[in-house]
Amino acid sequence: MNTTESLKDYQRVRTLAIRSLFEIIEQSSEGTVIVDRDANIVWMNERYARRFGLESAAGAIGKPCESVIPGSLLREVVRTGRPILLDMQDTPKEPLVVMRLPIHDDAGTVIGAIGFALFDELRTLSPMLKRYSSMQEELASTRSLLRARQTKYNFAHFIGTSAASLEVKRRARRSASAESPVLLLGETGTGKELLAQAIHGASPRAHKAFVSINSAAIPEALLEAEFFGTAPGAFTGADRKGRTGKLQIAQGGTLFLDEIGDMPLPLQSKLLRVLQEKEFEPVGSNDVIQSDVRVIAATSTDLQAAIKRGEFRADLYYRLNVLPIQVPPLRERLDDLPALSEAILEELRSQHELHRDALELLGQHAWPGNIRELRNVLERAALLSDDLMLTEQDIRAAIGTLTPVERASTGTVETLAGETFAQARERFDRQLIQSALAQCTGNVPQAAARLGLGRSTLYKKMVALGIA
């Protein structure tokens, strides 16, 4: 056999091998499709056509591959000339393992591509496919859970431009970039959870979960399990699969402990360990879980008084009180009433407006329920009023019993003999600051918030006035 005959024989064998390989893969695979240089389908077998809802393969001819096979990457193979040997292809029934190859002419130019769906013959990949499906389900569940744990408030929702409001937002913004615990102090209805969500949303942990737990809303017997979770069958009636606690759900994110002052003493000691050692054990388990959460706590009770009564651990208080923020009651920032009222009415999707006399009446009420009470009053007034302009009478009827705001005495200011204006003002400033410090038991940040001053400003005034 001469060289020419040998070459022809090799080419014939190669051609037959290619044809045989194509026929074997086409017959044994779940589907085959061929596209031209424009990624339009030129051939598809019937099994693949039925998988994508076509009555026959003829209906696919001439169509862009993506219009028949959503998510197809054959166009990329044509464009790059590079094969994709193994990949996952989602279909309406189940995912397929696919192989995509470029087609070249005799000159080596890419003139199309061919794709094989190899699912039925790769039975050894079944465990991988099951794992893939399981991971997809777990990912969808995690995404759904994370969306449910996302915050809905930011600093723009804390309405107010008064000195007290601006100081609160300034301190809260600074705390967002830190990892230390934050302690929000203030009466009920002042917006402590709103601030906690805003701090989380502005922190590096914003993409993780924000988990809230109210110590006063859960029975003491269940609070530990709610907080730490439980091991399978930890106690009679416990879930056989165990239960994930809020602390573990918040991993990587923020745990908001509302009404921390109502937390039972035994649980306080366990929380202290979490803060100090960064680890915890589920109820009924010996497994130690590493903790990665940022804790924000809030309370409307006087924790220092609770410590004296033996109801709150002093060591936990000092661990939580790293970045304290005193949230002022509404009666101490009445200048924010117009903006707050407008924002609340807008949130209620109400077209009502407040008459000037109605605003004046709002400023005469002490608001023991704070912003929560203000919203309640405005919503009631809007529902009961037939006019879009809410009057003083509408607001008075909605408030019910008016609690007057305590005003400072307007009596004659006492002056000392020979005292200049500057000396009198200095004496007044000293008395005012000393009074605020006494009311806050010497806590300078709290006194600054009460006076509507920045902490550094108050320190400077204290030094200038000789206040220790």
Q: Is the pLDDT of residue 302 over 70?
A: yes
CA 184, CA 408: separation in Å to the nearest integer? Answer: 27
- Rounded Cα distance between 327 and 182, Å, is 12
pTM over 0.95: no
Adjacent-strand bridge partners of 299: 185
Predicted local confidence at residue 355, as pLDDT? 93
From the list 200, 227, 199, the residue with the least C-alpha distance to 213 is 227
- Residue 279 one-letter amino acid: E
449 burial level (CB within 10 Å; 0-12, 13-18, 19+): buried
467, 433 contact by CB (below 8 A): yes
Residue-wise pLDDT for 193-208, tens only, equals 999 999 999 999 998 9
More confident residue, 146 or 378: 378
Res. 468: pLDDT tops 80: no
Total Cβ atoms within 10 A of residue 80: 13
Q: What is the distance between the alpha carbons of residues 22 and 388, in angstroms, rounded to a whole number? A: 77
pLDDT in tens, 28-70: 677 889 999 999 999 888 888 888 888 888 989 999 999 998 8
pLDDT band at 427 (very low <50, low <70, confident <90, very high): confident
DSSP 104-157: E-TTS-EEEEEEEE-GGG-GGGHHHHHHHHHHHHHHHHHHHHHHHT-----GGG
Q: Is the pLDDT of residue 10 over 70?
A: no
Does residue 388 carry a pLDDT above 50? yes
